[in-house]
Amino acid sequence: MPLQVYNSYSRKKEVFESITPGHVGMYVCGPTVSGESHLGHARPYVTFDIVYRYLTYKGYKVRYVRNITDAGHFEEEGREAEDKVSKKALLEKLEPMELVQKYTNLYHWAMRRFNNIDPTIEPTATGHIVEQINMIQKIIADGYAYVVNGSVYFDVKKYAANHDYGKLSGRVIDELLETTRELEGQEEKRDRADFALWKSAAPEHIMRWTSPWGEGFPGWHIECSAMATKYLGAEFDIHGGGMDLQFPHHESEIAQSTICNHKAPVRYWMHNNMITINGKKMGKSYNNVIKLTELFSGDHPLLTQAFHPMTIRFFILQSHYRSTLDFSSEALTASEKAFKRLWDAYETLKQLNFTGSASSGEGFDAELDAKINTWLNEFEEFVDDDFSTPKVLANMFEMTPIINSLKDGLLPSTAIAPATLQLMKDKFNVFLEDIFGLQAISGADNEALKGVMQLLIDIRKEAKTKKDFATSDKIRNQLAELGISLKDEKGGEMSWSIE
């Protein structure tokens, strides 16, 4: 069966065919680094890490672009209009780029703990202001944007007259008008449904750039369109993100990219569903936002213990990416036990070594052998069916008691053919480790230690640059007390070792 993906735009599964044979261009909306990454960031980045890994396994050369939003995007429909980065920088008494670097480092640290592979390109919004301005100029030239008081707005009604605006999110213009909130600057627009491509910066606005329309900053949506176009072209294969981004973000991306590049930008839109916590949507109003550092440490009132990143990754993979995922401390505890049971069976499987018969001989169980082969051959079929990771895990759990029975001698070593045993080893290895990105918790902890040390080194370098020698010395001395030696090398580099 060929790979099929559910296209959010057409609302149906479609056979995946890349624009350029053997190559895939994939763009996934990255985080706004105005604060710590939270549980809501875990699901999309684990989900699209699986997509990246599986496409690579299928033989594609994948260019995976995942951006960093560091320009403090201007949020519109249904949200408070604010410059998130500048606002948080003032609260933390940091320069905006200090704040951005701090939370980018934390985000990268968390992604390493989840064993997510780095994207091939990770552009920042602030690094592509020129591309955004150029794109806006093209949209103005084509008559689909207008300038008011130094701000630029996209003309949604004009676009909707000849295009399917609202098709991705399932909304129509009348509904958009009814649900659009009155926000600052709305009186400038020709229509309440129009969205900002560029905003004029008020005097107190910290992050600002020179543009043909005066000093200002980019709208949220244009950032992703400009970066995706630059690195993947006018049309690319996959655009991913959370379902909450369908409107207004992805709907706006489609509109502005279509006008600028004269073609629809994306062949397959993929969206993971939302996370709930104890049955409630995660949000500040519910006081149930769990930061990833809190999840890993257990330091949150909704958690009864700390949870390892591999447990969380496994928990995410137990549900299909398009289904709602409900987190609770109890569910994670159950997942922790299940993951241990499966991984222990995998470790046992790697040690099994016996000689049976392929088709006959004493103790050979032809029915069992055939069943195991069916389960194993279904692995790829399931992932080919819109990345159905839960079904693969279910098959693995079907084989777990068989593996344990072979180890304990409850099944004779001749029960299955040697070729079947080898296929089990190969399939478990490829799907658990290479495609699902799971690791033994001890091995993952070693990787986590490397990530933590790199984070501390980055903080210490920053402290030394600021001549904050008290912080620099504190990090070195406290690590020494823990038996970790931190050594300053030439050129400002640092190395570490466990004594």
Question: Looking at residue 68, what is its pLDDT?
Answer: 96
Whose tokens are 């040697």? That residue is 418
Question: Looking at residue 24, what is its pLDDT?
Answer: 98
Phi, psi (degrees; rounded to nearest 5) at 495:
-130, 160
Classify residue 328 by its DSSP letter: -
Residues in the chain: 499
Least confidently predicted of 76-80, 336-340, 488-492: 76-80
Query: What is the Rg, in whole angstroms, of the alpha carbon atoms belonging to the chain?
Result: 26
Q: Is 85 in contact with 32 (CB distance < 8 Å)?
A: yes
pLDDT of 184 higher than 60? no
Least confidently predicted of 131-140, 185-194, 263-272, 405-414: 185-194
DSSP β-ladder status, 216-218 and 195-200: antiparallel
Amino acid at 157: K
Helix (H), strand (E) at residue 367: helix 366-384
Q: Which residue has the higher pLDDT, 420 or 93?
A: 420
Q: How confident is the model at residue 10 (pLDDT cuts 50, 70, 90)?
A: very high
CA distance 436 to 425: 15
CA distance 180 to 178: 6
Edge-first strand listing for the sheet containing 280-281: 280-281, 275-277, 325-327
Least confidently predicted of 119-123, 291-295, 309-313, 458-462: 458-462
Q: How confident is the model at residue 303 (pLDDT cuts 50, 70, 90)?
A: very high
Distance, C-alpha 117 to centroid of its chain: 10
Nearest to 271 by CA among 249, 244, 290: 244
Q: What is the mean pLDDT of residues 371-396?
A: 98
> What is the tally of helices (H) and strands (E) in the chain?
16, 15
Q: Is 378 in contact with 395 (CB distance < 8 Å)?
A: yes
The dihedral sign for the CA sequence 32, 34, 39, 40: negative
pLDDT of 448 higher than 80? no
User: pLDDT tens digits for 145-177?
Assistant: 999 999 999 999 999 999 999 999 998 766 555
Give me the helix-helix angle, 220-232 and 251-261, nearest 10°: 50
Helix (H), strand (E) at residue 24: strand 23-28
Q: Is 451 in contact with 106 (CB distance < 8 Å)?
A: no
Question: Looking at residue 204, what is its pLDDT?
Answer: 79
Q: What is the mean pLDDT of residues 476-496?
A: 81
Question: Looking at residue 396, what is its pLDDT?
Answer: 98
Q: What is the mean pLDDT of residues 451-455?
A: 80
Whose tokens are 């990770």? That residue is 122
pLDDT of 180 higher than 70? no
Q: Which residue has the higher pLDDT, 173 or 295?
A: 295
User: pLDDT tens digits for 98-142?
Assistant: 888 989 999 999 999 999 999 999 999 999 999 999 999 999 999
Q: Which residue has the higher pLDDT, 119 or 288?
A: 119
Q: Which residue has the higher pLDDT, 133 or 493?
A: 133
Question: Looking at residue 394, what is its pLDDT?
Answer: 98
DSSP calls for 376-427: HHHHHHHHHBT--HHHHHHHHHHHHHHHHHHHHTSS-TTSS-HHHHHHHHHH
* Distances, alpha carbon 272 to alpha carbons 4, 47, 275, 321, 395, in Å: 16, 7, 9, 5, 23
Least confidently predicted of 280-284, 332-336, 432-436: 280-284
Which two three-digit tokens encode residue 268?
């397959």
Edge-first strand listing for the sheet containing 236-242: 61-66, 23-28, 236-242, 266-272
Q: Is 352 in contact with 407 (CB distance < 8 Å)?
A: yes
181: left (phi over 0), alpha (psi -120 to 50) or beta: beta
pLDDT of 377 higher than 50? yes
Question: Looking at residue 483, what is its pLDDT?
Answer: 72
Which two three-digit tokens encode residue 40?
């809501």
Mean residue pLDDT of the chain comes to 89
Q: What is the mean pLDDT of residues 7-15?
A: 98
* Distances, alpha carbon 203 to alpha carbons 39, 200, 206, 215, 241, in Å: 35, 10, 8, 10, 34
Q: What is the mean pLDDT of residues 239-266?
A: 96
User: pLDDT tens digits for 222-236?
Assistant: 999 999 999 999 999
Q: What is the mean pLDDT of residues 446-458?
A: 77
Close Cβ partners of 382 (under 8 Å, ≥ 6 residues apart): 388, 389, 391, 392, 395
Helix (H), strand (E) at residue 269: strand 266-272
Q: Is 432 in contact with 115 (CB distance < 8 Å)?
A: no
User: pLDDT tens digits for 19-60?
Assistant: 999 999 999 999 988 888 999 889 999 999 999 999 999 999
Whole-number percent of the chain with pLDDT over 70: 90
If you average pLDDT over each of 282-296, 375-389, 474-488, which comes out highest?
375-389
